[in-house]
Amino acid sequence: MGKVRVLVIDDSALVRKLLSAMLDSDPGIEVVGVAADPLIAREKIKLLNPDVLTLDVEMPRMDGLTFLENLMRLRPMPVVMVSSLTEQGAEVTLRALELGAVDFFTKPSSDLASCFAECAQDICAKVKLAAQARPRAYTAVQRLDVPPRLSADAVLPRSQSPGTRGSGRIIAIGASTGGTEAIRVLLEAMPPDAPPIVITQHIPAAFSGPFAARVNHCSAMRVCEAGDGQPIQPGHAYIAPGSQHLLVMWDGAKYVCRLHDGPQVNRHKPSVDVLFRSMAASVGASTVAALLTGMGDDGARGLLELRESGAPTLVQDEASSVVWGMPGAAWKMGAAEEMLPLERIAARLLALAQQPIVDAKRVAS
């Protein structure tokens, strides 16, 4: 395979210079051109036919989102967004991923040279993996409005009799590159009374809260950023904060979310392996787990531990994944019993959650 040919699009001459030099330093990447705005970029795409674009979200003459939407509708190609670490930057970046961007990296408001130097390996890896992604043409989808969530309390007070340990299923999800959209698709398909869902998505700390709020608006479940000690309840989905590992533990009478500020695992924090291992130890065969699209292999070994504990496990198939790294690694090591396209995963998770819980460990074949 030849070098990945990149077009850098940014209105800042300094960012264009620093980013181009950093990418060119990787022997697997060639910066074939730069553009100061989307209108110039449009002509250079036709002329240079790059493999990947890096695109700033804030651009003159045409904003990055408008350009991206037009691009993904007319000429789908891999795009890595360049975002600021602000609440507004998080919202715009999540919208870009929804429109079809493969991945993103963040830049600070100052000391760009040091930031790019420190993050060079990670940024180059994102660009090279983006070249292998399968971008799809963007088509606007009209979504149904989610009706107000009235609980049974509106009719009858809830009984205070506590349940017993292991009486119900908990669904565990792990994802990385392409995962924000995959998780949105999955949660949109879940009913309001679905089993509780715990999720680790590789995402920066400033983005996990806005991401949870965004998905909450389009899901019948209650979706939130997980808090330490938060009880795990049916009809709720809990997303790991971008700066801490999420674990599930038994707390005397109930399962709760636990946040752990430990070191990175598999170069990630939060790590899917940490979540899955905690589930194998605390929930075991009552877990139903899925590993979705993502770069690398985080979560593959944890999924294997879950399968060995008796939990049903599955992965997203290659055709529907943006990057088939994590699910592919799990599949190859026998960690998953099933492999399904994204659009079938929600229904399958619900079906598996209805099956009787088998206490005996099943050794992966």
Q: Spell out the domain ranges in the chain.
A: 4-130, 167-353
Q: Which CATH number is correct for 4-130, 3.40.50.150, 3.40.605.10, 1.20.210.10, 3.40.50.2300?
A: 3.40.50.2300
Mean pLDDT of 17-38: 95
Q: Which residue has the higher pLDDT, 249 or 141?
A: 249
The predicted pLDDT at position 91 comes to 87
Model confidence pLDDT, tens digit, residues 268-285: 999 999 999 999 989 999
Catalytic residues: 176, 202, 298
Distance CA 165, CA 159 (A): 17
Q: Does domain 167-353 have CATH number 3.40.50.180?
A: yes
Same fold, 4-130 and 167-353: yes
pTM above 0.95, yes or no: no
Q: Is the backbone peptide bond immediately before 270 cis, with ω within 30 degrees of 0?
A: yes
Asked if residue 31 has pLDDT above 50, the reply is yes
Mean pLDDT of 200-227: 96
pLDDT band at 1 (very low <50, low <70, confident <90, very high): low
Q: Helices marked H in the chain — which ranges?
A: 13-24, 38-48, 64-74, 87-99, 112-118, 120-130, 179-188, 205-217, 272-282, 300-308, 326-332, 342-353
Asked if residue 156 has pLDDT above 90, the reply is no
Mean pLDDT of 327-344: 97
Q: Locate 292 and state its tokens.
A: 């979705």
Among residues 244, 260, 236, the alpha carbon closest in space to that of 171 is found at 236
Asked if residue 147 has pLDDT above 50, the reply is no
What whole-number percentage of the chain has pLDDT above 70?
Answer: 88
